[in-house]
Amino acid sequence: MDKKVSGTIEMTAAMVISGTIGWFVVVSGQPVLDVVFWRCVFGAATLLAVCAALGLLRGAFNWRLLGLAALGGVAIVLNWLLLFGSYSRASIAISTAVYNTQPFMLVALGAVFFSERLTVAKLTWLALAFIGMLLIVQAKPEAAGGGSNYFAGIVMALGAAFCYAVAAIITKKLAGTAPHLIALVQVCVGILMLAPFAHLSALPAGVHAWSILLTVGVVHTGLMYILLYGAIQKLPTHLTGSLSFIYPIVAILVDYLAFGHRLQLSQLLGAAAILVAAAGMNLGWSLWKPKLQVEDADSLR
């Protein structure tokens, strides 16, 4: 099979899987902390087997790289806790839309810590995303489709996006390290972080609860990472960025089909504004032609 075709299939599958995780978290009936803990446990088992099969466990880390990967793991686990916690407060659809402000968190962190230049195009997309956020925040809480604390859910989703951006910045320092191995370290850190707080003395009862937790760990963590990293290695950046928007679309559809959560008009417009702005940021869209290009075109006439 052509590399681009197989990469597209893998990326699409990874994003569809990601888009369904909200449903699994909600129907599990388990506390968010326990869901994340078991995600880390089953995800670690899956990724350990994959890393061993690929021969990635032999002398892969020095102490500096291990420390950075572990720090990224703290950010990723906090990201999961906040995002999963936001589902019951602001709905899966709203939480996922707000969570997609993460590209702007990355831009802000890059500007602050790496002196990366903020272009007019980036500021324009940032402004559009901010307008989208205002449209979502000003909506009445009951429009969230049953969320118990709408504004808190939005804040948690924003916090999750920030934690993801922090993890992404840290991961940049791990260039050249196998991503499967980084993911393994991250979920192992999650086990150590959450084990003291998980309800291990009152384990989930019944096959249903365990099957949900197993799916979240094996499919939504282990398999999803394998598909995602496989796709990233095969696809150009612009195509990876385009396909990543399957995730929020699937999440919004799942929220509607499974739970009947209808978004208010202002929420729909806000979510659309954030997703368009994120697409513009990720794919490098520009609303104006660069001046240099215009001058070059004039000189050719």
Residue from 112, 136, 103 nearest 280 by CA: 103
pTM above 0.85, yes or no: yes
What is the distance between the alpha carbons of residues 267 and 264, in angstroms, rounded to a whole number?
A: 5
> Cβ contacts of residue 74 below 8 Å, gap of 6+?
189, 193
> C-alpha distances in angstroms, 46 versus 76, 146, 174?
18, 35, 22
**166-175 exposure pattern, b = at least 16 Cβ within 10 A, e = fewer:** bbbbbbeebe
Residues of the domain holding 85: 3-299
What is the distance between the alpha carbons of residues 164 and 241, in angstroms, rounded to a whole number?
A: 16
Ranges in the chain, pLDDT < 70: 60, 140-148, 287-301
Q: Specify the number of domains making up the chain.
A: 1
CA 142 distance to own-chain centroid:
26
> Cβ contacts of residue 158 below 8 Å, gap of 6+?
98, 101
- List strand residue ranges (DSSP E) for the chain, in order: none
Instruction: Retrieve residue 2's tokens.
Output: 């052509």
Query: To which residue do tokens 């466990």 refer?
Result: 57
Instruction: Retrieve residue 49's tokens.
Output: 């087997």
**22-31 exposure pattern, b = at least 16 Cβ within 10 A, e = fewer:** bbbbbebebe
What is the distance between the alpha carbons of residues 40 and 287, in angstroms, rounded to a whole number?
A: 42
Cβ atoms of 152 and 88 within 8 Å: the answer is no
Residue type for 241, please?
G
> C-alpha distances in angstroms, 158 versus 64, 79, 85?
29, 10, 12
